[in-house]
Amino acid sequence: MKILVCITHVPDTTAKIAFTDNNKKFDANGVQFIIGPYDDYALARAVELKESSGGTLTVLNIGTSETEPTIRKALAIGADDAIRINAEPTDSLFVAKQIAVHAKEANYDLIMMGRESIDFNGGMVHGMVGELLGIPAISPVMKLDIEGDKATMAREIEGGKEYLELSLPFIAGCQEPIAEWKIPNMRGIMSARSKKLEVIEPVSADVAGQLEQYELPPAKGAVKMIDADNVEELVKLLKNEAKVI
């Protein structure tokens, strides 16, 4: 089985979000970048699938050279080789077109990625790539098993789960608990240094969404503390001030 895992390079979940350059640029100062947590689940399951049924596992990232340490981490976790498409991942449709052009040529059996990136939270790239390649795209996948070219999976829906059957090739947008995150071991880290990381130039595609400016939410007012013995006061506030009951 030939597997592709697409990863994002995103600020750590505890990073302080701030902007510079007149609110036009993310302030990366002091921020640690990681493999997107959802992509990390996709990668972990892909490594398991490769271990059980053989084949190859390639990781792909669309980004500038700054993302290479993140790509190397994915190689240390268990990918065989990597591709970086040398472009800023400006909007989802642009990113999807880059992935689709590469995937069409390389002919993967299975394409996996996170359900969404944790920076822009779009959660749409898997669906777009699926449409561009004319194959199914399912998300968010919580369980994925493959036997031959048949797959069974569970995806999360509002208030529960949906169980599906389909055939390869397809795309899976993944989330927990599809697999446990894998922490690279020393051997993985050593071997990742010599694994192939190919840099290719992007295909030309229009930008569909032009970022104008970032904004931070207004500061939260002070919390109103209510005495634990006076819940009636809280009920009054919820009713008359917050007007939610």
Residues 53-82 that bind another protein (CB under 8 A): none
| Chain CA centroid to CA 87, Å | 17
Binding part of the chain for another protein, among 73-81, 104-112, 154-162, 194-202 by CB under 8 A, reads 154-162
Helix (H, G, I), strand (E, B) or coil at 92: helix
Q: Which of 30, 158, 186, 194 binds another protein (CB under 8 A)?
A: 158
- Tell me the one-letter amino acid at 207: V
- Pick 132 or 189: Cβ nearer another protein: 132
Nearest to 110 by CA among 124, 125, 92, 130: 130
- Pick 47 or 125: Cβ nearer another protein: 125
Nearest approach, Cβ of residue 191 and another protein (Å): 29
- Pick 106 or 234: Cβ nearer another protein: 234
- Pick 54 or 134: Cβ nearer another protein: 134
The verdict on 49 binding another protein (CB under 8 A) reads no
- Tell me the one-letter amino acid at 56: T
Paired strand residues for 171:
111, 137
What distance in Å separates the CA atoms of residue 8 and residue 95, rounded to the nearest whole number? 11
Which of the residues 90 through 119 are near another protein (CB under 8 A)?
A: 91-93, 96, 118-119
Q: Which of 128, 141, 144, 146 binds another protein (CB under 8 A)?
A: 128
- Tell me the one-letter amino acid at 130: G
- Pick 58 or 92: Cβ nearer another protein: 92
Using CB under 8 A, count the residues that bind another protein.
Answer: 81
Q: Which of 63, 140, 141, 192 binds another protein (CB under 8 A)?
A: 140
Binding part of the chain for another protein, among 66-74, 80-88, 105-113, 161-169 by CB under 8 A, reads 161-169
Which of the residues 167 through 206 are near another protein (CB under 8 A)?
A: 167, 170, 175-177, 206
Structure tokens at 2: 């030939």
Yes or no: say if 76 and 53 are a contact pair by the CB < 8 Å rule: no
The verdict on 27 binding another protein (CB under 8 A) reads no
Yes or no: say if 67 and 11 are a contact pair by the CB < 8 Å rule: no
Nearest to 18 by CA among 7, 29, 3: 29
Which H or E element spans position 98? helix 92-106
